[in-house]
Amino acid sequence: MRFSDVYASLPAAAMASISPANPLKRLARVLGYAGLRLLGNVFRPIQNPENLHDKVWLYVVSANNYDALSFLKEARPDAVLLAGQAKNIGRYNGAVNRLSLRRKLLYYWQFPLVFIGLLRSEGRRAWRYFDFIFYAIGYYEVYRRALRHYRPRAVVFSNDHNDDTRSLLLACRAEGVPTAYIQHASVSTSFPPLGFDLSLLEGQDALDKYRQCGPVQGRVELVGMPKADAFLGQKNIKPSVARVGLACNVHDPLPALTETLAYLIKELPDLSFTLRPHPSDPRDFGPLGRALPTLQWSDSKRENVFAFLQQHDALIAADTSTHLEATLLNLASIYYRFSAHAAVNDYYGYVAHGLIDAAQSLTELKSLLLQYQADKPTDLFRRAAYYNATIGTQYEGYSQVLALRYISEWLA
């Protein structure tokens, strides 16, 4: 993914928070990683609260992953949640076991060889993302060693494209450890091919996209969205829109966000608006808050996305899987690109498949909100059937039961 055209086309402002364009700043980040994460890990021995031997590992790389897999931990006494040493899992940092990465430092002699090889195969993009290459070194070897030491019964993933998760997946293949995957968010056609022994996907949309990514390996079952079970029985059946949420991330420029919110607050005084920045968004929203004092806020680092959506009747956002979650709760969800210069349009295909409406301008956005303010249908959630296989079936709201059944059968 790092060397794909989609990644290369991300806005400069969005990319700057992930990998700075200035090579000296990238080098500074690499040195910081080497000092804090590599050398720092050497002096931080791990003492896990749970035994990792012969367990079912639930491997997480974010709070969203934790939310997607925690039901397995609650249902199976042999399951343990874990992450890489010093990996930031947000509000769940203290709730996961850790895999030691102290030996990762021993494998950095490979970096020059890997970098030269990728320069030959990927050209300038290898130079542009040399920091990503540096971060990835050593995961595979360290995780193979951990698998040999602990011999887990299986490893369950909820991310299939980060460098550490890909490394663990490849290590599992090499060590003969069974692997399963539970989708935690909408996927795209730029993901790696599906390569787990068992994959539990949310719906036909995900399977169709993975088939475009390459050959699908292993058994695949469609189970809906387990993390949404507790909320599907609490759909928003209000006949009109009064409370509007906006979800944003680093791909949405702050000036454009400010312009959009200022316009909507002025033109639609009867509606309330809440902004929810992505938990990984490092930008300073203070000036925006001071410019728009009536704007309300949602802290995504503390508030679950479904809890946020339950307080609103409509959602406005660009490319985010929150659109799907909003539709499942029967919110009126509208796709709006805050920047006219965005390189990606309808990344997840929500508009193309009729899941949500789209506005091309502020006036169109206002018009759609006025329409839903007058009349919000009570069956918007049925649009999500292509994305969530349980909608309208006896298993709607029981995806966890379905997923647990398939996992138990597979492990047996």
**Per-residue pLDDT for the chain (412 aa), expressed as one digit of tens each?**
788 777 777 767 667 778 888 899 999 999 988 888 888 888 888 889 999 999 999 999 998 899 999 999 999 999 999 999 989 898 899 899 999 998 999 999 999 999 999 999 999 999 999 999 999 999 999 999 999 999 999 999 999 999 999 999 999 999 999 999 999 988 988 899 999 999 999 999 999 999 999 999 999 999 999 999 999 999 999 999 999 999 998 888 899 999 999 999 999 999 999 999 988 788 899 999 999 999 999 998 888 899 999 999 999 999 999 999 999 999 999 999 987 656 678 889 999 999 999 999 999 999 999 999 999 999 999 999 999 999 999 999 999 999 999 999 999 9
276 located within any domain:
yes
**312 with 176, same domain?**
no
Q: 3-state class of 221 per DSSP?
A: strand
Contact 292, 259 (CB under 8 A): no
Compute how many other C-beta atoms are within 10 angstroms of the C-beta atom of residue 385.
17
pLDDT score, position 318: 93
Q: Last residue of a domain, which of 185, 207, 222?
A: 185
User: Could you report how far apart the first and last alpha carbons of the chain are, in Å?
Assistant: 34
Helix (H) or strand (E) holding 16: helix 12-16
pLDDT score, position 304: 86
**26 with 87, same domain?**
yes
Contact 125, 8 (CB under 8 A): yes
Of the candidates 409, 372, 105, which has an alpha carbon nearest to the alpha carbon of residue 240? 372
**19 with 164, same domain?**
yes
374 located within any domain:
yes
pLDDT score, position 7: 75
Q: Which amino acid is at 194?
A: L
168 located within any domain:
yes
Between CA 385 and CA 400 the distance in angstroms is 17
Between CA 40 and CA 300 the distance in angstroms is 28
Contacts of residue 263, defined as CB under 8 A and 6 or more positions apart, other chains included, come to 362, 366
Q: Last residue of a domain, which of 161, 185, 209?
A: 185
Whole-angstrom CA distances from 216 to 157, 166, 219 are 16, 16, 9
Tokens for 137, please give them. 């070194």
**237 with 156, same domain?**
no
**279 with 171, same domain?**
no
Q: Which amino acid is at 45?
A: P
Q: 3-state class of 142 per DSSP?
A: helix
CATH for 114:
3.40.50
**17 with 120, same domain?**
yes
Of the candidates 227, 264, 255, which has an alpha carbon nearest to the alpha carbon of residue 359? 264
Angle ∠(230,63,46) on CA atoms, nearest 5: 130
Task: Name 99's bridge partners.
Answer: 84
214 located within any domain:
no
**149 with 245, same domain?**
no
Contacts of residue 148, defined as CB under 8 A and 6 or more positions apart, other chains included, come to 175
Angle between helices 399-411 and 63-75 (to 10 degrees): 70
The conformation of residue 90, written as its DSSP 8-state character, comes to G
Of the candidates 251, 160, 202, which has an alpha carbon nearest to the alpha carbon of residue 388? 202
CATH for 380:
3.40.50.2000
Quote the radius of gyration of the chain (alpha carbons, Å): 22
Total domains in the chain come to 2
200 located within any domain:
no
Place of tokens 């169109």: 364
The conformation of residue 314, written as its DSSP 8-state character, comes to E
Range of the domain at 294: 231-386
Contact 56, 82 (CB under 8 A): no
Place of tokens 């379905």: 402
Between CA 66 and CA 10 the distance in angstroms is 27
Q: 3-state class of 275 per DSSP?
A: strand
pLDDT score, position 41: 82
Of the candidates 198, 149, 158, which has an alpha carbon nearest to the alpha carbon of residue 178? 198
